[in-house]
Structure 1
Amino acid sequence: MRILGISALYHDSAAALLVDGKLVAAAQEERFSRKKHDAGFPQQAIDFCVRHAGLAFKDIDYVAFYDKPFLKFERLLETYLAFAPRGFTSFRMAIPVWLKEKLLQKTLLRDEMKRWIPDFDWHNKLLFGEHHQSHAASAFFPSPFERAAVLTMDGVGEWATTSLAMGEGSELQMVREIHFPHSLGLLYSAFTYYTGFKVNSGEYKVMGLAPYGEPRFKSTILDKLVDLKDDGSFRLNLEYFDYCTGLRMTNEKFDALFGGKPRKAEERLTQREMDLAASIQAVTEEVVLRLTRSVAQQTGARNLCLAGGVALNCVANGKVLREKVFDNIWVQPAAGDAGGAVGAAYAAYHGFCRQPRRVNGHLNAPQIDSMDGSYLGPEYAQPDIEARLQTAGARFETLPYDGMIETTAQALADEKAVGWFQGRMEFGPRALGGRSILGDPRSPSMQKTLNLKVKYRESFRPFAPSVLREDVSDWFDIDADSPYMLMVAPVVERRRRTMTADEQALFGIDKLNVPRSDIPAVTHVDYSARIQTVHRQTNPAYYDLISAFKAKTGCPVVVNTSFNVRGEPIVCTPEDAFRCFMGSEIEVLVVGNCVLLKEAQNPSLKRDYKGAFELD
């Protein structure tokens, strides 16, 4: 049985394909269209998934969409009626879009797909799952657990913003929900907006900024904005927000509460923004911890699965892990809306088609789930790589595998910035060693160099360490799998460096360039790190590279950031990788077995990449 899952027409459109219950392919449309967070119909992602499986479109048994457009339209309409006459201007602007994209979405989807499969039985074989059902299915069914509680937290689906489900075998039952407009995701997005970052894009920047500040507004948020109960349930005070009916997240009353108007994009960050970030991060962690405690108490479950955009908050995830109210935690690597495509397909396969579930792997095995390391996108054979690079005008040397690994490890040891393009592209927002820019974590200047000269992004943003799984507890205060870079843990005490009195007296981003450990490039200002454990079973080339780097340096850790510049989707093709290489200050590019040195390239191919993309 072949089921195609689709998420589309809001943000981060994607497609995923299940064949007889196995997830064989998944990709986001942005990687093909080169438009960040592309919300359009995922035509190219669908085409990739079907072709990768060696199928034709006529071979698809069901198409499953990740939410119910009519229910979403109902929520939008009821919200405006509830707040009328406030928001009439935005209502008048939005109605034509709603009629096309929400009320008539089923027709739109059918018309798009008919271009490929004109004879498909759309009346019976186009399925719709609820938004949080799709999220929950994406978290539970690929997980390694036979039984688990599933917590979904995001902005909003149709009505649900936070939900609890219970999964057992091939069954998934929704238990309880918190409904719009009371939303932890929208609360965090309100502060994303207020601190000058883009909603649905910049939330991870707020999380990265938080350690530079003090949570001095936490009590204000809990006193004025959020009525938080002991069990983690909550209600927002809507007097301070404008997202129900307006064209912005917050209002003048919010401004007055926090001492001024929202920061404008690209304005200089002040201590206020850092303290606001620290405060909303602290509140979010408090909500998530109370929710997970009550879920454990209510359900008796020993395993927890997480999905929804809030589940990408790896700092909160790390605190849940360390609290140990659950034995095991598994987070869907594409926890945001892109992962809804995976969940829609799984929900259709197990729920609608009543097919049995086969749990992949077991808890003591490095390969513990059915996501295959999230390496579910396109890959390129070596002859194809060479032909594409030659056509692009690249100058390269093709090395045997061992030589490629050795050369790359030496480049890292020499503190070079390395573009690394190997195997299948990752699904989800994190680069996991398939499409990554790598560096030496021991270098005190590497974080600043990569941010300002390679990624062209804000200097405060941290980088993640990729570490061999067997070495993780020797460097970080964690002894668990974190293959998807969704857990934060502190650097162990013996690897830390004590700051001087003068360094401790620094404030905010002045702290950035103070080395804090033996691996300063991946140690955040609070001694934390967003960890990716690397397993030979899921990514042998990346594992071999880090092992070779360890043999040279004694350090089993490398800096890992996504292979792109600010505002650009992660690279998908060898041509994308070469363009980014020539448009940034990456010094070495490794694509398959091909090694490219910047100084060997034709200077006329150099590109001005710094302003090539709309800033995220």
Structure 2
Amino acid sequence: MHVLGLSAFYHDSAAAIVADGRIIAAAQEERFTRKKHDSNFPLQAISYCLKAAGRSLDEIDHIVFYDKPFLKFERLLETYMAFAPRGFASFRMAMPIWLKEKLFQKSLLGKELRKIDEKWKAPEKLLFAEHHLSHAASAFYPSPFEEAVVLTMDGVGEWATTSVAIGRGAELTVEREIHFPHSLGLLYSAFTYFTGFKVNSGEYKLMGLAPYGEPRYAKIIRDNLIDLKPDGSFRLNLDYFDYCTGLTMTNSRFDELFGGPPRRADQLLTQREMDIAASIQLVLEEAVLTLTRSLAKETGLANLCLAGGVALNCVANGKVLRDKTFANIWVQPAAGDAGGAVGAALTAYHGLCGGARKVPASGDAMAGAYLGPSYDQADIEARLSQAGAKFEVVDDVTLLSRSADALADGKAVGWHQGRMEFGPRALGNRSILGDPRSPKMQSVLNLKVKFRESFRPFAPSVLREHVAEWFELDTDSPYMLMVADVVQDRRKTMSEEEQKLFGIDKLNIPRSDIPAVTHVDYSARIQTVSADTNPRYHALISAFKERTGCPVLVNTSFNVRGEPLVCTPEDAFRCFMGTDIEVLAVGNCYLRKEEQDPSLKRSYEDQFELD
């Protein structure tokens, strides 16, 4: 049985295909259209998934959308009615779109699917899953657990913003929910907006900014904005927010509380924004920990699965892991709305169709999140030649040796191998790599390669067998969704003068033997790399270790700021030529920047709207 899952029309549209319960392929539409967070119907992602499964659209048994539009419309109407006449401007903007398209989504989906196959006429195959059930399914069914608590936290689905489900075998039941407008995701997004970043894309910047500040505003947030109960339930004080009725996240009362208006995106970051970031991060962690402690005590279960946009807050995830109220934690790597496509398909297969579930003997069922397109060697060579690239085709041993040598020499290496990752993180197949021992590597990659803010941290990829020697972590973290500190004996002691520094002044002080991946609070967002899951990437890090004694590489996504992760070999070559990446490895093609046609170099970063 083949089930196609879809998410679309809000942000991060995606498609996924499941065959007899096994995830065959999954991809976000943005990777094909080159429009970050593309919300349009995922035509190209669907076409890819069908090709990967070897099926036509007519051969798909069920097509499942990740939420229920009628319930969402009900929530919008009830919200507008509850706050009327406030919110009329927002109401006036939203209603025409709903009445024209979204309310009749079954018809719209059929129309879009016929763009793939004009003969397709099977509306009875179209199903709709509830948003939070899709999230929960995406976390539980691929997890390595027979039984688990499943906690979903995001902005809002139809009504739910936080939900608790229990998974046992092939059964998954949502037990209870917290409803809109009370939302941890929207609370965090309100601060994303207030500190001058884009909602639904800048939340990870807020998280990265937090260690530069002090949580001076945490008490203000607790006293005025959120009422957190001992069982983890909560309510927000809506007097300070505008997202129910207006076109912004916060209002003038919020401004008064934090000493001024929101930062404009073009204004420099100040200590206020850093302290606000530190404060909301602390409060979010407190709320999540209160929830998980309560659930562990109430259920007595040992395993926890996490999904929803809040589950991408890897700092909070690391706190939950170290809290040890649950023995084991697994986070869906595409925890945001893109992952809803996987969850919708699995919900239909296991729930509606009664399909059996087989828990993997080792690892999980996400295949390392390597679920996107790959390109064979002949195709890579043809594509690069067409793009005007100059390359040498080498064997595996030479490719690994040359790439490891370049990394040890301090060069930035573009690494395009195998199947593209599903979810927001590059995990060693569409990555830009560097030497973590270099004190300059973070600023070089941020400013000359990624064209992004200098404060943004980079993640380490570390050989799984050596992770505990470098970080305060000794468990799998394959999806870069857990933060842990660098071990004490790898840290560098700071002088008294250095310890007195505040904010961004802390940035250029090396804090460990691997300064390029050590954040200002000694933390790191860790990816453990296993030979079972990604043998080629594991071999590259091993070759780097042979040369340097260090089993760690800097791993950042292969793109510039505002651009989606590269998908094709041509995407990789364009990014290579538009940045200061010095070496590119695509399959077994090895490219050096100095050998390329200089006329192909261009101002690449200007093509994309900044995130």
Is TM more than 0.5 here? yes
- Residue 109 of structure 1 corresponds to 109
The one-letter amino acid paired with 1:451 is: N
Is this contact kept in 2: 1:72–1:102, CA < 8 A? no
The superposition leaves residues 308-330 of structure 1 with CA deviations (integer Å, 9 ceiling, x where unpaired) of: 00000000000000011111100
Q: Offset of 1:104 from its aligned partner?
A: 1.5
Q: Check if 1:354 corresponds to 2:349.
A: no
Q: Tell which deviates more after alignment, 595-604 or 52-61.
A: 52-61
Of residues 450, 464, 481 in structure 2, which corresponds to 1:455?
450
Of residues 457, 467, 471 in structure 1, which corresponds to 2:466?
471
**Partner Cα separation in structure 2 for residue 97 and residue 613 of structure 1:** 26
Q: Tell which deviates more after alignment, 90-99 or 503-512.
A: 90-99
Is this contact kept in 2: 1:64–1:127, CA < 8 A? yes
- Residue 175 of structure 2 corresponds to 175
The superposition leaves residues 531-556 of structure 1 with CA deviations (integer Å, 9 ceiling, x where unpaired) of: 00001111111000000000000000
Partner of 1:16, secondary structure, is strand
Partner of 1:27, secondary structure, is strand
The superposition leaves residues 173-223 of structure 1 with CA deviations (integer Å, 9 ceiling, x where unpaired) of: 000100000000000000000000000000000000000000010010000
Q: Check if 1:132 corresponds to 2:132.
A: yes
- Residue 392 of structure 2 corresponds to 397
Partner of 2:561, secondary structure, is coil
Is this contact kept in 2: 1:12–1:39, CA < 8 A? yes
- Residue 343 of structure 1 corresponds to 343
Is this contact kept in 1: 2:304–2:330, CA < 8 A? yes
Of residues 521, 527, 536 in structure 1, which corresponds to 2:522?
527
- Residue 76 of structure 1 corresponds to 76
**Partner Cα separation in structure 2 for residue 429 and residue 511 of structure 1:** 27
Of residues 592, 599, 603 in structure 2, which corresponds to 1:608?
603
The one-letter amino acid paired with 2:67 is: D
CA RMSD of superposed structures (Å): 0.8
- Residue 561 of structure 2 corresponds to 566
The one-letter amino acid paired with 2:258 is: F
- Residue 381 of structure 1 corresponds to 376
The one-letter amino acid paired with 2:427 is: L
Percent identical: 73
- Residue 543 of structure 2 corresponds to 548
How many residue pairs get matched? 611
Partner of 1:337, secondary structure, is coil
**Partner Cα separation in structure 2 for residue 37 and residue 221 of structure 1:** 30
- Residue 329 of structure 2 corresponds to 329
TM-score, normalised relative to structure 1: 0.98
TM-score, normalised relative to structure 2: 0.99
Q: Offset of 1:480 from its aligned partner?
A: 0.4
Q: Offset of 1:266 from its aligned partner?
A: 2.7
Partner of 1:611, secondary structure, is helix
The one-letter amino acid paired with 1:185 is: G
The superposition leaves residues 23-60 of structure 1 with CA deviations (integer Å, 9 ceiling, x where unpaired) of: 00000000000000000000000000000111111110
* 1:225-264 equivalent positions in 2, closer than 5 A: 225-264=225-264
**Partner Cα separation in structure 2 for residue 345 and residue 89 of structure 1:** 37
**Partner Cα separation in structure 2 for residue 3 and residue 520 of structure 1:** 45
Partner of 1:296, secondary structure, is helix
Is this contact kept in 2: 1:417–1:438, CA < 8 A? yes
Q: Check if 1:187 corresponds to 2:182.
A: no
Q: Check if 1:151 corresponds to 2:156.
A: no
**Partner Cα separation in structure 2 for residue 198 and residue 343 of structure 1:** 26
**Partner Cα separation in structure 2 for residue 146 and residue 436 of structure 1:** 33
- Residue 13 of structure 1 corresponds to 13
Is this contact kept in 1: 2:210–2:278, CA < 8 A? yes
Q: Tell which deviates more after alignment, 24-33 or 290-299.
A: 290-299
Q: Offset of 1:512 from its aligned partner?
A: 0.3
Of residues 488, 509, 513 in structure 2, which corresponds to 1:514?
509
The one-letter amino acid paired with 1:438 is: L
**Partner Cα separation in structure 1 for residue 73 and residue 217 of structure 2:** 35
* 1:204-223 equivalent positions in 2, closer than 5 A: 204-223=204-223
- Residue 277 of structure 1 corresponds to 277
The superposition leaves residues 462-520 of structure 1 with CA deviations (integer Å, 9 ceiling, x where unpaired) of: 00000000000000000000000000000000000011111111110010000000000
**Partner Cα separation in structure 1 for residue 409 and residue 509 of structure 2:** 21
Partner of 2:63, secondary structure, is strand
**Partner Cα separation in structure 2 for residue 60 and residue 195 of structure 1:** 45
Residue 101 to residue 500, structure 1, CA distance change in 2 (3 Å): farther
The one-letter amino acid paired with 2:393 is: T
**Partner Cα separation in structure 2 for residue 399 and residue 237 of structure 1:** 61
The one-letter amino acid paired with 2:357 is: R
The superposition leaves residues 405-445 of structure 1 with CA deviations (integer Å, 9 ceiling, x where unpaired) of: 00000000000011000000000000000100000000000
Partner of 2:605, secondary structure, is coil
Q: Offset of 1:121 from its aligned partner?
A: 5.7
Of residues 499, 502, 505 in structure 1, which corresponds to 2:497?
502
Is this contact kept in 1: 2:43–2:116, CA < 8 A? no
Is this contact kept in 2: 1:16–1:341, CA < 8 A? yes
**Partner Cα separation in structure 2 for residue 157 and residue 225 of structure 1:** 21
Partner of 1:104, secondary structure, is helix
Partner of 2:428, secondary structure, is coil
Partner of 2:509, secondary structure, is coil
Is this contact kept in 1: 2:415–2:429, CA < 8 A? yes
